[in-house]
Amino acid sequence: MKTPEQLRALSISRSLFGETTLKVAIRRLGFVQADPIRSPARAQDLILRHRVKGYRVGDLDRRYPSLDLEEDVLYAYGFLPRRVWQLLHPRKMKGISSIEGKVLEAVRAGGVTHPRELTSRFGKRRVTNAWGGHSQATTRALEALRASGRLRVARREHGIRLYEAMPSWQPLSPDDRLPERIMVVANILAPVTERTLYANIARYRFLGDTRATVGALVTAGRLRTETIDGLSYIWPSAKTVPAEIPRRVRFLAPFDPLVWDRRRFEHLWGWSYRFEAYTPAAKRLRGYYAMPLLWGDAVVGWANARVRGPDLDVEVGFVKKRPRDSNFGAELEAEIERLRTFLRLE
């Protein structure tokens, strides 16, 4: 039986592995969540900077074409190694519309395609998107074709996706895909609360019985379960000996794997964290893009960081009191300096 302290050490050791190359880090994670908000940088860059040696903002975009990656939805939208992407397809999809058929034909014929090329060809008709706003019909068609596995994101230019046809490949059977999908999600969020895992693999039910598949993975010894303080946890059974957690300050992205399971966060660190970017300013408790502040194995507060011209402004708040450890101040300044270097503000 593990204690909350042991579970905390296990979660940090599994997720915050030693800094490595960009390709290896993404392969080890299996998925990096994306988010467009830049405060002070996008989520994918903030997640990778703790795991990739010498990482700088925008490195993922610059190196994406050479990394054998895809953009898609696992439990959220993000970047996946192609071997993981192949577990997601073929999806249960409807047939394509007339505009999607025309867009698909144009991309296949023209190669890597910028959305504006299609707008000039097919017009600027606008449609309501999934968020209630409006998008170009051609952009909506491109995304529908990407989601169905017919197109892929070739690269980005200034944050805009450029598309190309997906090369042919041999899909796995549903019986093979479902357990491996579950293992990918369990690995990145491990140890994950049972409730959070089931909620995020529910979308895979068209492939089979997700609960029965989790049970089979536990029986086979690939996953293990344990109840701690009344909360049921699941994680891959591969032996991971928690390393000694360094006394170091880290600002974690709101979508970092260590933060993502809010039930686990509250259980292990004793306070409730919420992402408040879409909360009215007057109702925010910690800030627009408050990043949890990890000190050793404790999340003791949060940081809001803003780039103001050549300068970086960092405001820090604490759940209780500022840590009294004599090294905390120096480590906090070191993390601010690392963030400044990452943002290319040297």
Q: What does the pLDDT look like over 5-57, one tens digit per residue?
A: 999 999 999 999 999 999 999 999 999 999 999 999 999 999 999 999 999 99
| pLDDT reported for residue 187 | 95
Q: Where are the domains of the chain?
A: 98-165, 249-342
What would the pLDDT profile of 276-291 be if each residue is shown by its tens digit?
999 999 999 999 999 9
Is pLDDT of 132 > 60? no
58/63 Cα distance (integer angstroms): 9
| pLDDT reported for residue 137 | 86
Q: What backbone torsions phi and psi does residue 305 show, to the nearest 5 degrees?
A: -120, 135
What mean pLDDT do residues 323-333 have? 94
Is pLDDT of 318 > 60? yes
If you average pLDDT over every residue of the chain, what do you get?
92
Asked if 210 and 198 count as a contact pair (C-beta separation under 8 A), the reply is yes
State the DSSP H helix or E strand holding residue 12, giving kind and residue range, or none if neither. Answer: helix 4-15
Is pLDDT of 241 > 90? no
| pLDDT reported for residue 95 | 83
Is pLDDT of 144 > 90? yes
Q: The whole model's pTM is what?
A: 0.92
- Owner of token pair 């592995």: 17
Its sign, for the CA torsion 234, 240, 245, 249, is: negative
What mean pLDDT do residues 141-154 have? 94
Task: Give the CA dihedral 15, 81, 215, 235, nearest 10 degrees.
Answer: -10
| 279 exposure class (CB count in 10 Å sphere: 0-12, 13-18, 19+) | middle
Which two three-digit tokens encode residue 183?
A: 């293992």
176/171 Cα distance (integer angstroms): 10
What would the pLDDT profile of 201-223 be if each residue is shown by its tens digit?
999 999 999 999 999 999 999 99
Q: Which amino acid does the sequence have at 69?
A: L
249/334 Cα distance (integer angstroms): 8
Cβ count near 74 (within 10 Å): 23
| pLDDT reported for residue 133 | 43
* pLDDT interval class at 129 (50, 70, 90): very low
What would the pLDDT profile of 245-254 be if each residue is shown by its tens digit?
889 999 999 9
| pLDDT reported for residue 125 | 58
Q: Which amino acid does the sequence have at 58?
A: G
What mean pLDDT do residues 102-128 have? 83
* pLDDT interval class at 126 (50, 70, 90): low
What mean pLDDT do residues 127-142 have? 64
Residues 256, 259, 264, CA angle at the centre, nearest 5°?
A: 145
Bridge partners of 306? 313
What mean pLDDT do residues 232-237 have? 95
Which two three-digit tokens encode residue 97?
A: 């519309």
Could you give the percent of the chain with pLDDT greater than 90? 80
Q: Which amino acid does the sequence have at 79?
A: F
Which two three-digit tokens encode residue 333?
A: 């300044």
* Better-predicted residue by pLDDT, 57 or 129: 57
> What is the CATH class of 98-165?
mainly alpha
214/275 Cα distance (integer angstroms): 29
Q: Which amino acid does the sequence have at 107?
A: V
Cβ count near 173 (within 10 Å): 8
152/141 Cα distance (integer angstroms): 13
Measured CA distances, 253 to 34, 50, 262, 263, 267 (Å): 11, 10, 13, 17, 19
Q: What backbone torsions phi and psi does residue 316 show, to the nearest 5 degrees?
A: -120, 140
Q: Worst-scoring range by mean pLDDT, 31-40, 122-131, 170-179, 207-216?
A: 122-131
Could you give the percent of the chain with pLDDT greater than 70? 94
Is pLDDT of 130 > 50? no
Is pLDDT of 197 > 60? yes
**In the chain, how many H helices and how many E strands?**
14, 14
| Residues in contact with 123: Cβ distance below 8 Å, sequence separation at least 6, in sequence order | 137
72/74 Cα distance (integer angstroms): 7
